């Protein structure tokens, strides 16, 4: 079965073509574009690419999965008002995809989609209760509870970036001092400016730490402590076997892990941490590709 996938992110968007079945994915083609302009300016070239690639192989698309930051209405196939995709507000994306590609389409929150991907193919394999955290441009969660993806009554479960960690601080998810404000790409950029008065981002902070800059390492520790305190809320409520975190956490794992576990131990019930694991995502930079195809190839 040949599937199409669209991974819509605040910085870049990608289209992938893949063969999926029997628990394995084989990628056939990929195209990436910057997220700029109106939503049609972004997705129309991706659809044209998918049609050209599938036609060139003489195959018919079995379905299309769309992975996108929330909030969204997965049942209606509508992107609502994601803070990191301002030009995608109230877009009926599955209706567009079905018309553009001529196949059934399904929409899922990017965190939920990545949770499915890591659970089936990555670091979360073998668990029944797992939380996936995006920790990229924004911060969202995908919840695997009791061996199933949990999306909530209105497909809004897992919007953990909105949790307030401090009375004030970097702004994330339109809230100062939020979990996303401290633990996301946009939040880290603000945090660096607040602490140092200088411009910087997660990548430059990582590079400085790699060069032995003690101030950069100290900033990563502050971020890690707040990450752990946010995790404690999730661990106490949901009691997962593991939390798998992607993007920035996966890259800067060695600077964040110890502080995150320290913050987690300070705040969480000790019983909740018995056997608990905090893991970097295993699917690397291609997790969005896996996620989009996982949506299309998953029944129900």
Q: How many residues does the chain have?
A: 300
CATH 3.30.420.40 fits 126-282, yes or no: yes
Distance CA 65, CA 35 (A): 18
Q: Where are the domains of the chain?
A: 2-113+286-297, 126-282
pTM assigned to the model: 0.83
Q: Taking a C-beta distance cutoff of 8 angstroms, is the pair 106, 64 a contact?
A: yes
Coil/strand/helix, residue 175 = strand
User: pLDDT by residue (tens digit) across 159-185?
Assistant: 899 999 999 999 998 899 999 999 999
| 32 and 93 Cβ atoms separated by less than 8 Å | no
CATH topology of domain 2-113+286-297: Nucleotidyltransferase; domain 5 (3.30.420)
Question: Mean pLDDT in each 10-residue stretch from start to end of the chain (300 residues)?
Answer: 94 94 86 95 97 97 92 90 86 98 94 90 92 92 94 84 93 93 96 94 97 97 97 97 96 97 97 96 91 85
Q: What single DSSP character describes residue 26?
A: E
pLDDT at 82: 85
Q: pLDDT tens digits, residue range 74-90? A: 889 999 988 778 899 99
């Amino acid at each position: 079965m040949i599937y199409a996938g669209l991974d819509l992110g605040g910085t870049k968007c990608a289209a992938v073509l893949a063969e999926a079945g029997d628990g394995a994915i084989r990628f056939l083609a990929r195209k990436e574009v910057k997220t700029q302009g109106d939503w049609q300016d972004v997705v129309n070239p991706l659809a044209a690419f998918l049609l050209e690639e599938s036609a060139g192989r003489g195959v018919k698309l079995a379905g299309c999965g769309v992975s996108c930051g929330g909030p969204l209405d997965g049942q209606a196939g509508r992107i609502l008002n994601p803070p990191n995709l301002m030009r995608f507000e109230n877009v009926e994306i599955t209706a567009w995809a079905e018309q553009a590609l001529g196949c059934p389409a399904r929409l899922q929150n990017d965190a939920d989609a990545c949770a499915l991907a890591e659970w089936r193919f990555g670091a979360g394999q073998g668990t029944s209760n797992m939380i996936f955290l995006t920790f990229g441009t924004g911060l969202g969660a995908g919840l695997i509870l009791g061996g199933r993806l949990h999306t909530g009554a209105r497909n809004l479960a897992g919007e953990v970036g909105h949790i307030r960690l401090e009375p004030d601080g970097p702004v994330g998810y339109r809230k100062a001092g939020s979990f996303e404000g401290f633990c996301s790409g946009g939040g880290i950029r603000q945090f660096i400016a607040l602490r140092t008065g200088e411009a910087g981002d997660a990548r430059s902070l990582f590079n400085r730490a790699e060069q032995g800059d003690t101030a950069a390492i100290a900033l990563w520790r502050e971020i890690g402590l707040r990450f752990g305190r946010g995790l404690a809320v999730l661990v106490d409520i949901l009691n997962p076997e593991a939390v798998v975190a992607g993007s920035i956490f996966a890259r800067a794992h060695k600077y964040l892990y110890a502080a995150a576990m320290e913050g987690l131990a300070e705040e969480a019930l000790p019983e909740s941490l018995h056997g608990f694991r905090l893991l970097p995502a295993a699917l690397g930079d291609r997790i969005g590709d896996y996620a989009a195809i996982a949506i299309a190839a998953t029944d129900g």
